[in-house]
Structure 1
Amino acid sequence: MFILPSKSTLLRYLHAVPFDTGINVHIFDKLTNQVKDLMEMDRYCILMFDEMSLSRGFDYCKRYDKVLGYADLGSNRRLNKLADHALVFMVQGLRSSWKQPVAYYFTPSSLSALSLKELIREVISSLQKINLKVVCTVCDQSSVNSSALSQLAMESSNRLNEDYLFSVNGESIVSLFDVPHLLKNTRTTLSNYNIFDSRYPFKKANFSFIKQCYEIDKSRRFQMLRKLKDDFFNMRNNSMKMKVGIAAKTLSFTVAAAIETMVCDSSRLPAEAIHTAEFVHDVD
């Protein structure tokens, strides 16, 4: 049985360590000592960043004598805008499983790609100074993230000549988008547009074949697509678009197999639907 300190005691301990916006000097001082004991391969890491929504509002911090609620990009870079998001940067080891948040910022919903680009470069430079080797960044596919990474790649294009690579202080870094968002955006794109195979232009994936396959399967006694629901095809519902599980079930091996079965055996789907089955199989 552990006898833990009371809430007031824990808060008193936390107040002794300043956790302000921007690069947290105290965390980096601690990381510097930890990195010294790491093997060379354990210093390779990933920089991840993401935002979470906040409620707008103001609060007075007596300890620091300032009003909280404005956008704050650290290093005394406060903006005359209300903050409604918290942007957090976290580092994770590639070979070993260590991870550590290293910086956070209060941002407005209208944070520019230029500002985000400078924050990414700032955090990476700080990590490089303590001998951590950042090999890639991981984030979602928001327009601001995509634009910031594209700008970094364009500035490095003279040397790297790749649109998914950029460099900071001469070190090459790969920009990656996290798989859940790639899967959701693939499903959303397929629901709005046909997707062609660049190698074989006659091959076309069409979302309507998935829906037709589901409607046919519903009338069967022994269904193959029992995990699919009617709501999965309601693309006007934004909550449906945001759920990774729905995208994974829609673009699954089971769906590909069901389409192929209905094309080959029952002929209830046209022959060109097999290209949609191939696409869904490849995504799975």
Structure 2
Amino acid sequence: MFMLKSIFGKWKQPIAYSFCEGTTKTPVLIRTIKEIVRAVHQTGLQIVAVVCDQAATNVAAINSLVNDTKADYLRKGSELRDRIIEVDGHQIIPIYDPPHLLKGISNNFLTKNILYKNKKEKTCVAKWQHIINAYIIDNPCGRLRLMKNLTDQHVYPAKIKKMKVSCCSQVFSNRVASGITRMSLDGSRSVDGSVSMEKDTLQTADLLLFFDDLFNSINGNTRYPTQGKILRSAVSNTSRHLRFWNEAIVMLKNMSFITLDGKQKSLPPSLKNWIITLEGFTLLQKKLQTLGFTYFLPRSIPSIP
């Protein structure tokens, strides 16, 4: 199913669908995308971005369209540095659906640790076990809990609803990061003394805070910041988004997952696709500026149902 959504208006409209047995093949997707873009442009509307999830056929179709565009530029004697799709002279920016990207990070984090470099270039390790330990310590505190939004369905891998964005966004949050930080600095222990918060749990708190900022930066729905969330607002030349996205891209490029025994590293697609998406949002801001728009609300970029 294909849907058209206005970036500045409050409307969205399904425009095409098809029946298929199994996954739609990549060549069919490529042809369909081109046909839809041409049909929409004939109405006078302008498509500036295309959003999809990380399904293998979707990724393959986007990569093929991007590579075809680069090849066309080379044949014309020029080099295209930006990752864009061009159809009949119209440039379109590919973006992956941010909620699906966050779910991808979360689901990998359940079974692996995350290696990353902090602002001081120190290699750090974030562990899901730290979140479990914090929950065990915090849960018996009742009304005085620091992480009131967490339940067993947020924390214990066997109980987590892995397809719900709300579950992972509530874990990758300022509240949980702050709770872990407080318990770590206080050296908190569980009621029976079997679980404690060590100093290295601060590295997990820092990672959660990073992804909270990252998700806020592409989820703003108001012109100005609310509730102290500076990045959860409109994107403009004077907002902090562009600088933050550049810094986030560097951090994501230095991030990897590692098995719990520390023997095998991996780079799941979500890491690369976060980078592609942030680069896409940066290009989108520049493109909209050339079209006369001084700002845009990132949440207006549609999420996949």
TM-score range, shorter chain: 0.5 to 0.7
What is the CA distance between 1:202 and its match in structure 2?
A: 0.7
Measure, in 1, the Cα distance between the counterparts of 2:84 and 2:56: 18
Partner of 1:90: 3
Tell me the secondary structure at the aligned position of residue 161 of structure 2: helix
Partner of 1:141: 54
Which among 78, 84, 97 is matched to residue 165 of structure 1?
Answer: 84
In the alignment, is the contact (CA less than 8 A) between 2:135 and 2:155 conserved in 1? no
CA 1:95–1:110 in 2, change beyond 3 Å: closer, same or farther?
A: closer
Give unmatched runs, 5+ long, in structure 1.
1-87
Partner of 1:279: 207
In the alignment, is the contact (CA less than 8 A) between 1:234 and 1:240 conserved in 2? no
Measure, in 2, the Cα distance between the counterparts of 1:189 and 1:148: 24
Partner of 1:180: 99
Residue 83 of structure 2 corresponds to residue 155 of structure 1: no
CA 1:108–1:198 in 2, change beyond 3 Å: closer, same or farther?
A: farther
Residue 49 of structure 2 corresponds to residue 129 of structure 1: no
Tell me the secondary structure at the aligned position of residue 95 of structure 1: coil
What is the CA distance between 1:236 and its match in structure 2?
A: 4.3
Measure, in 1, the Cα distance between the counterparts of 2:20 and 2:122: 43
Letter in 2 for 1:228: L
What does 1:245-256 align with in structure 2 at a 5 Å threshold?
A: 245-256=166-177
What is the CA distance between 1:97 and its match in structure 2?
A: 2.1
Q: Which one has a bigger Cα radius of gyration? A: 1
In the alignment, is the contact (CA less than 8 A) between 1:93 and 1:99 conserved in 2? yes
What does 1:174-253 align with in structure 2 at a 5 Å threshold?
A: 174-197=93-116, 200=121, 202-221=123-142, 222-236=144-158, 240-253=161-174
1:72-91: per-residue Cα shift (whole Å, max 9, x none)? xxxxxxxxxxxxxxxx2111
Measure, in 1, the Cα distance between the counterparts of 2:30 and 2:199: 47
In the alignment, is the contact (CA less than 8 A) between 2:117 and 2:123 conserved in 1? no
In the alignment, is the contact (CA less than 8 A) between 1:153 and 1:165 conserved in 2? yes
Tell me the secondary structure at the aligned position of residue 24 of structure 2: coil
What does 1:41-52 align with in structure 2 at a 5 Å threshold?
A: none
Measure, in 2, the Cα distance between the counterparts of 1:169 and 1:192: 45
Tell me the secondary structure at the aligned position of residue 167 of structure 1: strand
Letter in 2 for 1:140: D
CA 1:179–1:116 in 2, change beyond 3 Å: closer, same or farther?
A: same
Tell me the secondary structure at the aligned position of residue 157 of structure 2: coil
Measure, in 1, the Cα distance between the counterparts of 2:134 and 2:156: 16
Letter in 2 for 1:154: N
In the alignment, is the contact (CA less than 8 A) between 2:4 and 2:14 conserved in 1? yes
1:115-173: per-residue Cα shift (whole Å, max 9, x none)? 112111111111122222110011222222122111111212344334x4221112221
What is the CA distance between 1:103 and its match in structure 2?
A: 1.2
Percent of aligned pairs sharing the same letter:
28
What is the CA distance between 1:255 and its match in structure 2?
A: 0.6
Partner of 1:32: none
Letter in 2 for 1:185: G
Aligned residue pairs, count:
195
TM-score computed with the length of structure 1 as normaliser: 0.63
Measure, in 2, the Cα distance between the counterparts of 1:213 and 1:132: 50
Measure, in 2, the Cα distance between the counterparts of 1:139 and 1:236: 28
1:54-78: per-residue Cα shift (whole Å, max 9, x none)? xxxxxxxxxxxxxxxxxxxxxxxxx
What is the CA distance between 1:233 and its match in structure 2?
A: 3.1
Q: Flag as ranges the 4+ runs of structure 1 deviating above 4 A.
A: none
